[in-house]
Structure 1
Amino acid sequence: MNESDLSLIDRIVLGNCVEGMRTLPGDCIPLTVTSPPYDHVRAYGGHTFDDETFRSVAQELHRITMPGGVVAWVVADGIGDHSESCTSARQKLFFREVGFKVYHTMIMARSGSRWPARVRYGDSLEYAFILSKGRPRTVNLLRDKPNRQAGLVYTDAPRPLAQRERPLPSVKGRPISALGVRSAVWTYPAGGRTTTRDRYAFDHPALMPERMAEDHILSWSNPGDLLFDPFCGAATTCKMALLNHRRYLGFEINPQYHQIALRRMRDAHAEYRRRLDTDLLGA
């Protein structure tokens, strides 16, 4: 954003996100992380999110996302009449229609969040569609998967002479690192203090686990980048952006949830200052 748009940085704005996005310049957002309402699974203060609204959101998201920018769209399907709605699949295809590339499809699994149904396995999965406007400008793959062969030396086996035109240079062995890149299935404990320690935030009916928001922010952005959330809710994404040295902007249409978001960000700013003071004193 240019200097005339700085008044929107580090703010949670009360209002309709489509109208709000229309006030933003094009190609200005490097990363969006959001989880919109879907399939009337929960009531959000009487505000609906129908197919027409989704299409407007998708079109505006493409307009404001900068080249190389990423949208992490976390969504699931409702179940009615013994069948999944397939809303997520239709949304994924429409994002392609407006110009996004579907860079990656990931699974967000929440353990301990719901009782299993009598006729199906536990309903605890969400999709995270990683949408990019061209080639992603930032990809920081998280390396926290323990390698069972850590410390061993890996050597590339050269191809037989019959399979190559000229000899390959000698390959030096390299040790296998202790941690490797995690899979595309991320699992988080859900509920209570495992989602957040901000108890008052549970007045919002559908909190994203803080670790989930943080992992997407770390994966698709760098310190100093702007994080955007058009469905800000209780400001989980904005809080984790701040605590990881990013700027933030969120829109929230529900006044009650907007007040929760403002309180949460006040607490987050206090926590951020405490961390900075601790770092300075320990330096």
Structure 2
Amino acid sequence: MKVDTKIYKDDFHTIIHGNALENLKCLESESIDLIFADPPYNIGKDFDGLVENWSEEEFLNWTYKWIDECHRILKPNGTFYLMNSTENMPYIDIKCRQNFYIKSRIVWAYDSSGMQAKKYFGSMYEPILMLTKHERNYTFNAEDIMVEAKTGAIRQLIDYRKEPPQPYNTKKVPGNVWNFARVRFKMDEYENHPTQKPEALLERIILASSNVGDMVLDPFSGSFSTCAVAKRLGRKSMGIELNEEYVKIGIRRLDLPSPYTCEELAKEKRRKTKNLSKKARLIADTQPQISLI
């Protein structure tokens, strides 16, 4: 889908409505502090009319090109988080080893109330690579992302290996398995996007790998949660998005000037599935049935 690039911005936040690869090529080298990329996975998702249908070769060739652009625009001490499907990640991992240091291979684990696979073990996680250009010189704000160390905090164990013995720490840096619930319809953060990522996940990434005033880029912005969380945390943001309906979400969430009316930008939640909720099914079952015969 070809669109003429349009830009919506204020002093700190920018939305680029256009093709990701083409617009990444236009960005200045070594200008971005943090990149979070959650691109299409090529698994047949329908993004409001834009359906993934590449061959594997086409998809990987395209993916490798935008990864190279992300390497070019990332600052020497910057960090790049890259998500993809379990099927694609082995190819992407090998590609990224050529130019990046892989600091962590993160698993975002979640539960699902929907139907899962019956003939094999269904996928209940998505992998994330944490990539840097420098082996040691990169931002990592450990104190800003501490979580409870359950062994030390709850059981109050003593570490006798230390002299003198002292209690185990009650806080620790999270490991590489992250348990965040997927975004559900009843959540306030829910937007009309089929692959929206939770703000809690993005908050951890942004707090850990950027500082106030840094530039955060999301080249596949979708629901614009990355940019919205970056704004809330005092960072600058830049989001690239091809789909106009998603661009409108970003303009609303970032409160950017645009030619769209308030009605065009209004939030109107739609379920991602056509299946009825439990409450709706109960109501339907209790309604009197009218026969047309």
Report the equivalent of 1:274.
Answer: none
**Which residue does the alignment assign to 1:253?**
242
Gaps of 5+ in 2: 1-8, 257-293
Could you tell me how far 1:68 is from its partner in structure 2? 1.8
User: Which position in structure 2 is the counterpart of 1:156?
Assistant: 161
**Where do residues 119-158 of structure 1 align in structure 2 (5 Å cutoff)?**
119-135=119-135, 136-141=137-142, 142-150=145-153, 152-156=157-161
The match for 1:262 is: 251
Cα distance in 2 for residues equivalent to 1:87 and 1:214: 25
User: Which of 57, 61, 64 is the matching residue for 1:55?
Assistant: 64
Question: Following the alignment from structure 1 to structure 2, what is the Cα–Cα distance between the partners of residues 263 and 24?
Answer: 24
Following superposition of structure 1 onto structure 2, how do residues 195-214 of structure 1 map, counting pairs within 5 Å? 196-199=187-190, 201-202=191-192, 204-214=193-203
CA–CA separation in structure 1 for the residues paired with 2:11 and 2:65: 21
Distance apart, 1:58 and its partner CA? 0.7
Matched, 1:189 2:154: no
Could you tell me which of 22, 33, 50 is aligned with 1:46? Answer: 50
Equivalent residue of 1:130, what SS?
A: strand
Per the alignment, residue 35 of structure 1 pairs with 38
Distance apart, 1:264 and its partner CA: 2.0
The residue type paired with residue 126 of structure 2 is: E
Maintained 8 Å contact 2:45/2:51: no
Moved over 6 A (4+): none
Match in the other structure for 2:84? 75
Correspondence for 1:87 = 88
TM (norm. structure 2) is: 0.73
Q: Deviations over 1:95-143 (max 9, x none)?
A: 222x111111010012236432112233221001001111351112332
Quick one: structure 1 residues 131 and 254, their matched pair in 2 at CA, closer, same or farther if it must change by over 3 Å? same
Cα distance in structure 1, aligned partners of 2:231 and 2:113: 27
Which amino acid in 2 is paired with 1:46?
A: L
Say if 1:28 and 1:47 are closer, same or farther in 2 by CA, change over 3 A. farther
The SS at the match of 1:11 is strand
The SS at the match of 2:105 is: strand
On the 8 A contact 2:30/2:72 being kept in 1, the answer is yes
* Aligned residue among 215, 226, 243 for 2:204: 215
Q: CA deviation at 1:240?
A: 0.7
Contact 1:29/1:69 (8 A) holds in 2: yes
Say which is worse superposed, 211-220 or 107-116, in terms of deviation.
107-116
Distance 1:255 1:224 in 2: 28
Q: C-alpha distance in 1, partners of 2:152/2:28?
A: 49
Structure 1 stretches of 5 or more lacking a match? Answer: 1-5, 78-85, 158-170, 268-283
The residue that corresponds to 2:223 in the other structure is 234
- CA-to-aligned-CA distance 1:221-268 (integer Å, 9 cap, x gap): 12221110000111011111111111100100111111122112229x
Q: Deviations along 1:9-49, whole A, 9 cap, x unmatched?
A: 41111011112112211111111112111123302332657
TM-score, normalised via structure 1 length:
0.76
Amino acid paired to 2:79: V
Bigger share in helix: 1
Q: Is the 8 A contact 1:115 1:122 kept in 2?
A: no
* Cα separation, partners in 2 of 1:114 and 1:62, compared to 1, 3 Å: farther
Write the distance in 2 (CA, Å) between the matches of 1:228 and 1:66.
Answer: 12
Q: How well do the aligned residues superpose, as a CA RMSD in angstroms?
A: 2.4
